[in-house]
């Protein structure tokens, strides 16, 4: 079953934000509305409560509730992947709750401890993997850095490990990992829409897109060009649309979420504020986001 799912998930993983009310409580009605709109487009899956979804700002119960609402909103149109993490016990609780809520797979974020020894990392992923029968996607980001040998070892210890989501942005190293492990795993690009050319150049089958929250058509066009290895088209899309957005997102830490939520609100999509420690964009920056979106009319 895991292999069948892996083969199907090609193209774009839609990455909805988590909608909050002004008082920073969950807005599940808005969550359902946004996910419903996203699933009208042919994404291969939706990832609820991931990094863009501010997983680390929420409790275990809130994360499960977001996944449940997202499953309800997709109404079987596409799989929902639930983000889990923190530590082993909380990760297991989240995994089991999300399985019960109808998630089709799990995205395991790095554990809380930034200096975890290798054996501790193995034990963390193995325990969460054994907690459910769901296919696992491991997210290699921040301090969770792996060699080809480590990935191969994880494949042995975690039978449900099905997808590898790269968040390091090192195409050379990712290609070495892919070459060493082969088709045991499905390979996903995960650091951002701005890395699409490099990811598809080394052979990923899909990527996770935050642009999908505001311009699904654009994220799908990027993946289509990548899968066809049409790098001339990719270069054009990157230059005109992706690079200007990402340059704005680079203005401050956390803006990868704050800017997307601001853009959603401008477009009439109920995203709400970000939770601390993220901060909203500055009031005088909103006009710049509006100007950027004016050039995206063909994709909105």
- The catalytic residue positions are 139, 165
Count CA within 13 A, CB hemisphere, residue 10.
Answer: 12
CA dist., res. 107 & res. 85, Å (int): 8
**CA neighbor of 51 nearest in space, from 280, 300, 286, 278:** 278
CA dist., res. 211 & res. 207, Å (int): 11
* Contact of 284 with 230, CB cutoff 8 Å: no
CA dist., res. 77 & res. 181, Å (int): 31
**Helices (H) then strands (E): counts for the chain:** 13, 8
> Helix, strand, or coil here: 289?
helix
Q: What is the helix (H) or strand (E) element at residue 175, kind and residue range? A: helix 171-181
φ, ψ of residue 176 to 5 degrees: the values are -65, -40
* Contact of 219 with 234, CB cutoff 8 Å: no
Task: Please enumerate in sequence order all residues whose Cβ is within 8 A of that of 58, keeping only pairs 6 or more positions apart, or say none.
Answer: 18, 26, 49, 66, 275
Start-to-end CA span in the chain (Å): 35
Angle at 187 between CA 182 and CA 191, to 5 degrees: 140
* Contact of 215 with 173, CB cutoff 8 Å: no
Give the bridge partners for 82, in sequence order.
48, 106
């Amino acid at each position: 079953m895991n292999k069948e799912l892996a083969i199907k998930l090609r193209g774009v993983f839609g990455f909805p934000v988590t909608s909050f009310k002004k008082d920073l409580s969950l807005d599940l009605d808005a969550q359902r509305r946004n996910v419903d709109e996203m699933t009208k487009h042919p994404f291969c899956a939706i990832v609820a409560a991931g990094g863009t979804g501010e997983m680390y700002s929420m409790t275990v119960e809130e994360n499960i509730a977001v996944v449940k609402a997202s499953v309800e909103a997709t109404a079987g149109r596409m799989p929902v992947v639930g983000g889990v993490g923190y530590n082993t016990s909380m990760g297991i609780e989240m995994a089991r709750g999300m399985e019960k809520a109808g998630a089709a797979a799990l995205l395991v974020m790095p554990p809380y401890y930034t200096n975890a020894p290798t054996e501790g990392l193995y034990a963390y992923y193995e325990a969460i993997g054994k907690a459910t029968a769901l296919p696992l996607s491991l997210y290699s980001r921040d301090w969770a850095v792996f060699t080809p040998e480590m990935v191969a070892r994880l494949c042995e210890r975690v039978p449900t490990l099905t997808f590898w989501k790269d968040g390091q942005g090192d195409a050379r190293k990712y290609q070495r990992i892919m070459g060493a492990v082969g088709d045991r795993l499905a390979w996903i690009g995960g650091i951002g829409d701005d890395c699409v050319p490099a990811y598809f150049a080394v052979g990923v089958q899909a990527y996770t897109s935050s642009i999908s929250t505001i311009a699904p058509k654009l994220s799908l066009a990027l993946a289509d060009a990548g899968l066809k290895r049409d790098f001339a088209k990719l270069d054009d899309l990157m230059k005109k649309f992706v690079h200007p957005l990402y340059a704005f997102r680079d203005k401050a830490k956390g803006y990868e979420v704050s800017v997307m939520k601001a853009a959603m609100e401008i477009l009439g999509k109920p995203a709400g504020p970000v939770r601390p420690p993220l901060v909203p964009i500055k009031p005088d920056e909103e006009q710049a986001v509006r100007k950027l979106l004016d050039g995206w009319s063909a994709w909105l």
